[in-house]
């Protein structure tokens, strides 16, 4: 039972992945062949199996499963399920059963859990309730297709799914209320990414137009009832995260003064697999490479060096975190920084940024504070200031305490203390389904006011403020 609960909870975090993301990940040249070879060669050794599979997102699991079948002609989940029914050296049946559940798509997994719950001598109603209460209606409809041979579950799905109307009603409301901001915001801003995707697909089927394209067109012209700024924000909100980040990166690069802050937030705040999707989406949309566009920025700026280093780190996919290596890196930073006369050793900093993952860098800076009694940013602040130091300090703050960083970005924008006018939209939209609850907690603790109150005080009444409040309230409502 505990195994099903844990896998279900972990998988819930991965349900924002999209069909487009699947295609992009599938086309990636990153070596899933290597993972499959490791799995095949290490079969029966639990540590290798767990390392190769348990740390993967659902998209990666699907791709590994497909690649394994292509390479060895066997279905990986079938192999795991077979191993779960027999004892073999090195890996327990219980672990194989858990891994096989983890590798399944969420709706397939829930179908199996539901079937097993029904077949127990004493029906496991708890497991069934968790499925029907904890899943969206669209997710339940997917399970129908995987469970068509079980009339009882099929009927229960129908009963529960009928309690909420389909996305056709939402699309009809959007179509008929076009130009009236309240209806648009109510229909879209409170949705999850999965629901946004489904609404976009349904709208296209019903009216033959892409909803995001309509919003983007409206963002370039004034029309009664809804502001261009709100349409632009809604169009970003409706996009899949990697497509959104690709657009944000492009806009940052095209500004007269390159918006390095927006670029740093992307490279620091996203997983390597997500950054790969961003680069694919960027190239697909703009026919140019994000990395090369950063290198080509004129005039040159220290942020470029750091961004190129971070991008290289993501491409290396070095996600391993080592306490020993982190301590060594912390000591090297000290010895070539405040522990020696002169300026910070840029070469060493860039070397570490190039070779280490973001989680590893975060651990390195934590070790630095533990060993030397203060944050690494304090050592950066000592001595003469400079562009590289200023850029490095901002990046380190974003790595070490993202919620604190984003809270300060929002406050600075509310108070008009920055020229980064798109920061509020960018932060509220990109972090709303990730850490907005923590950002709101930090905002209240640091500045003594609720984020929603700060929005109302700083932004004049209108549809844009209503949109931001809808995102903030959406997060509060799910806490």
Same domain, 418 and 289: no
Closest CA to 431 of 377, 477, 474: 474
- Give the whole-angstrom CA distance, residue 112 versus residue 479: 29
Same domain, 211 and 249: no
pLDDT score of 7 more than 80: no
Same domain, 74 and 94: yes
Phi and psi based region of residue 292 (left: phi greater than 0; alpha: psi -120 to 50; beta: remaining):
alpha
List of residues 6+ apart from 163 with CB closer than 8 A: none
Which of 81-95, 119-133, 136-150, 299-313 has maximum average pLDDT? Answer: 299-313
215, two tokens: 């919003």
- Using a 10 angstrom Cβ sphere, with 0-12 exposed, 13-18 middle and 19 or more buried, the burial of residue 376 is buried
Instruction: Kindly report, residue by residue over 198-207, the tens digit of the pLDDT.
Output: 899 999 999 9
Same domain, 375 and 409: no
**274 found inside a domain:** yes
**139 found inside a domain:** no
Same domain, 99 and 14: yes
pTM equals 0.65
CA neighbours within 13 Å on the CB side: how many for 31? 10
478, two tokens: 């799910």
More confident site: 3 or 454: 454
Other CB atoms within a 10 A radius of the CB of residue 45 amount to 13
Average pLDDT rounded to a whole number, residues 214-241? 84
pLDDT score of 175 more than 60: yes
The whole-number pLDDT of residue 141 equals 56
DSSP 462: S
Q: Position of tokens 């109307």? A: 165
- Give the whole-angstrom CA distance, residue 431 versus residue 433: 6
Same domain, 247 and 343: yes
Q: What is the mean pLDDT of the chain?
A: 81
- Give the whole-angstrom CA distance, residue 362 versus residue 115: 43
More confident site: 22 or 96: 96
- Give the whole-angstrom CA distance, residue 349 versus residue 313: 13
- Give the whole-angstrom CA distance, residue 453 versus residue 4: 40
Q: Residue 330 — very low, low, confident or very high, per pLDDT cuts 50/70/90? A: very high
Show which of 366, 399, 432 is a domain's final residue.
399
The whole-number pLDDT of residue 33 equals 82
More confident site: 383 or 113: 113
The whole-number pLDDT of residue 378 equals 87
pLDDT score of 446 more than 90: yes
Q: Residue 140 — very low, low, confident or very high, per pLDDT cuts 50/70/90? A: low
**334 found inside a domain:** yes
Closest CA to 369 of 378, 360, 359: 378
The whole-number pLDDT of residue 344 equals 81
Which CATH number is 443's domain given? 1.10.220.10
pLDDT score of 474 more than 70: no
The whole-number pLDDT of residue 162 equals 36
% of the chain at pLDDT higher than 90: 37
Which of 45-49, 96-100, 332-336, 395-399 has maximum average pLDDT? Answer: 395-399
Average pLDDT rounded to a whole number, residues 168-172? 88
Same domain, 351 and 257: yes
pLDDT score of 196 more than 60: yes
Number of domains comprising the chain: 4
Same domain, 221 and 313: no
Same domain, 421 and 410: yes
Same domain, 264 and 390: yes
pLDDT score of 392 more than 70: yes
Bond before 239 cis per omega within 30 degrees? no
Instruction: Kindly report, residue by residue over 50-63, the tens digit of the pLDDT.
Output: 877 887 887 888 88
Average pLDDT rounded to a whole number, residues 243-265? 94
More confident site: 375 or 225: 375
The whole-number pLDDT of residue 352 equals 93
118, two tokens: 């029904």
The whole-number pLDDT of residue 294 equals 95
**246 found inside a domain:** yes
Show which of 104, 127, 153 is a domain's final residue.
104
Domain that holds residue 343: 242-399
**13 found inside a domain:** yes
Average pLDDT rounded to a whole number, residues 329-347? 83
Q: Are 355 and 318 in contact (CB under 8 A)?
A: yes
**201 found inside a domain:** yes
Which of 46-50, 76-80, 475-479 has maximum average pLDDT? Answer: 76-80
Kind and range of the H or E element at 56?
Answer: none
pLDDT score of 461 more than 70: yes
- Give the whole-angstrom CA distance, residue 157 versus residue 137: 8
**143 found inside a domain:** no
pLDDT score of 426 more than 60: yes
More confident site: 109 or 142: 109
For the ranges 206-210, 298-302, 366-370, the lowest mean pLDDT is seen at: 298-302
For the chain, the first-to-last Cα distance in angstroms comes to 25
The whole-number pLDDT of residue 126 equals 87
397, two tokens: 């703050």
379, two tokens: 């050592």
pLDDT score of 292 more than 90: yes
- Give the whole-angstrom CA distance, residue 26 versus residue 21: 8
Same domain, 32 and 173: no
Q: Residue 26 — very low, low, confident or very high, per pLDDT cuts 50/70/90? A: very low
Q: Measured over all CA atoms, what is the biggest interatomic distance in the chain, rounded to whole angstroms?
A: 76
Show which of 104, 133, 155 is a domain's final residue.
104
More confident site: 118 or 202: 202
**129 found inside a domain:** no
Same domain, 292 and 372: yes
Average pLDDT rounded to a whole number, residues 129-157? 56
365, two tokens: 């800076």
The whole-number pLDDT of residue 400 equals 93
More confident site: 449 or 123: 449
67, two tokens: 């690649």
């Amino acid at each position: 039972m505990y195994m099903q609960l844990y896998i279900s909870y972990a998988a819930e975090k991965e349900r924002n992945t999209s069909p487009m993301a699947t295609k992009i990940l599938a086309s990636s040249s990153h070596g899933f062949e290597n993972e499959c070879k490791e799995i095949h060669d290490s079969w029966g050794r639990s540590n290798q199996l767990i390392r190769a599979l348990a740390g993967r997102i659902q998209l990666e699991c699907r791709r590994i499963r497909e690649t394994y079948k292509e390479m060895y002609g066997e279905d990986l989940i079938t192999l795991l399920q077979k191993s779960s029914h027999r004892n073999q050296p090195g890996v327990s049946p219980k672990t194989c059963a858990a891994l096989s559940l983890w590798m399944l798509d969420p709706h397939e997994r829930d179908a199996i859990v539901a079937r097993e719950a029904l077949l127990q001598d004493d029906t496991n109603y708890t497991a069934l309730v968790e499925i029907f209460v904890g899943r969206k209606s669209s997710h339940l409809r997917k399970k129908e297709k995987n469970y068509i041979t079980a009339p009882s579950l099929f009927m229960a799905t129908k009963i529960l799914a009928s309690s909420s109307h389909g996305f056709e009603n939402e699309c009809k409301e959007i179509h008929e209320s076009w130009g009236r901001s309240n209806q648009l915001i109510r229909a879209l801003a409170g949705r999850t990414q999965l629901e946004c995707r489904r609404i976009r697909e349904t709208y296209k089927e019903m009216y033959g137009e892409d909803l995001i394209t309509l919003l983007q067109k409206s963002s370039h012209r004034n029309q009664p009832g809804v502001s261009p700024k709100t349409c632009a924000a809604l169009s970003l909100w409706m996009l899949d995260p990697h497509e959104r980040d690709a657009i944000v990166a492009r806009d940052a690069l095209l500004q007269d003064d390159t918006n390095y802050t927006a670029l740093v937030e992307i490279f620091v705040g996203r997983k390597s697999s997500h950054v790969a999707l961003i680069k694919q989406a960027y190239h697909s949309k703009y026919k140019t490479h994000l990395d090369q566009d950063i290198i080509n920025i004129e005039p040159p700026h220290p942020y470029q060096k750091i961004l190129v280093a971070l991008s290289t780190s993501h491409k290396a996919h070095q996600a391993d975190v080592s306490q020993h290596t982190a301590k060594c890196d912390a000591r090297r930073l000290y010895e070539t920084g405040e522990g020696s006369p002169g300026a910070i050793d840029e070469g060493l900093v860039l070397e570490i940024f190039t070779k280490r993952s973001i989680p590893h860098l975060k651990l390195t800076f934590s070790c630095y504070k533990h060993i030397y009694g203060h944050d690494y940013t304090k050592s950066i602040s000592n001595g003469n200031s400079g562009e590289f130091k200023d850029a490095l300090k901002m990046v380190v703050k974003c790595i070490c305490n993202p919620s604190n960083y984003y809270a300060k970005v929002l406050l600075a924008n509310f108070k008009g203390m920055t020229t980064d006018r798109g920061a509020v939209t960018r932060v509220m939209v990109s972090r709303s389904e990730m850490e907005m609850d923590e950002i709101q907690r930090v905002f209240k603790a640091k500045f003594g006011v609720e984020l929603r109150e700060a929005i109302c005080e700083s932004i004049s009444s209108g549809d844009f403020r209503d949109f931001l409040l809808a995102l903030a309230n959406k997060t509060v409502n799910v806490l």
